[in-house]
Amino acid sequence: MNSEGTTKRTRGHTAGSILTAMLVREAKVSLRNPSLSVQQVAEMLSFSDQSAFGKFFKRECGMSPVQYKKETQFKKQQENNHYT
């Protein structure tokens, strides 16, 4: 039996799905950093180019990395304005 089959049987997830979830989590954290561009995040996560990263992110999250970055920055700005 291969390791992916063992992982799925014991945890309910495949190794691939676990790695994808970890990659998405890292992408979201990096995109919330205002000093990093989408291009820089794509490079940090070892995507071949920004387009490949964008397709991956949109497939997994339902929005483009640019949309995610704008939305999270807007929400943070709104929270900061609420407390000032």
Q: Fill in the amino acid letter for 39.
A: Q
Residue 3 has pLDDT above 60, yes or no: no
Please answer whether residues 68 and 30 qualify as being in contact, where contact means their C-beta atoms are separated by less than 8 angstroms. no
- DSSP letter for each residue of the chain: --HHHHHHHHHSS-HHHHHHHHHHHHHHHHHT-TTS-HHHHHHHTT-SSHHHHHHHHHHHHSS-HHHHHHHHHHHHHHHHHHT-
Domains of the chain (ranges, CATH numbers) = 21-82 (1.10.10)
Residue 36 has pLDDT above 90, yes or no: yes
Residue 1 has pLDDT above 60, yes or no: no
* Tens digit of each residue's pLDDT (9 = 90 or more) over 9-30: 556 889 999 999 999 999 999 9
pTM for this one? Answer: 0.79
